Amino acid sequence: MDKQKLAGKVALVTGGGRGIGAAIALRLAALGAATVVCGRTQSHIDQTASQITSAGGIAEAIPADVSDWKSVSALAEKVQQAHGKLDILVNNAGIGGFGGPLQQMPLEKWDAVMNTNLRGVFYTIRAFVPLLVSAGGGDIINISSIAGKNALPNGAAYAASKWGLNGLSYSVAEELRAQKIRVSVICPGSTHTELSPHEGKSPARMLQPDDIAHVVEMLVTQATQSFASEIVIRPTQKP
């Protein structure tokens, strides 16, 4: 892997403590980016950052809760103080909302799903776009889901949050093009992580976190005159 591809770049990955987020953080660091790993659980993000530094990369773990504006704002201040800019923002933090019909969902669960999966992305964009502008442009990559394009019975709240995230991504992409900021959304199918429901599925046939990280690499290393606004990625074989 060419460590010079992202040399001098600063990247931030939310939900970077495990699963897809950890794979993306490791990939960006391996390409040379100084990578900020954030998440709610200190031990998880410490583990990702340790893997990066052990491999010779540059990383720091900063705890943050994307559903809390004060937490996101404080995170942005720390990145500003440490790096003075941001080149790549990966909005990966998310929680599931599976397990039953919508009319049986506790009200607080709905709020938690929306606050993390949708409101949290609004917060990070609001907080970090000034740093991307000061860098002269960059990439915002939002990790959505194929559930943001297809019906998901017994997962309506999760699907709604991802449909909303897709709409947010398309619209913000148009707002930020003039500032040379590319906004892309990735919609993975069944991926083998702790978040995805695995009942009746073969993990070996599911997408792996590294598959998503590979797509992120493609997005952030493409020629500056173009960007892929949306990528849907599916397993080759149905799980």
- Is position 158 annotated as part of the catalytic site? yes
3-state secondary structure (DSSP) of residue 153: coil
* Separation CA 191–CA 235 (nearest Å): 8
What b/e readout covers 197-226, taking b as 16+ CB neighbours within 10 angstroms? eeeeeeeeebbbbebbbebbbebbeeeeee
**Residue 147 CB-density burial (10 A; 0-12 exposed, 13-18 middle, 19+ buried):** buried
Query: Which of 97, 206, 193 is closest to 154 using CA atoms?
Result: 97
3-state secondary structure (DSSP) of residue 90: strand
CA dihedral sign, ordered 2, 30, 119, 105? positive
Neighbours of 89 (CB within 10 A): 27
From the list 98, 123, 128, 158, the catalytic residue is 158
3-state secondary structure (DSSP) of residue 62: strand
Residue that has been written with the tokens 């019906």 in this structure: 151
Neighbours of 41 (CB within 10 A): 11
- Show which residues are catalytic: 158
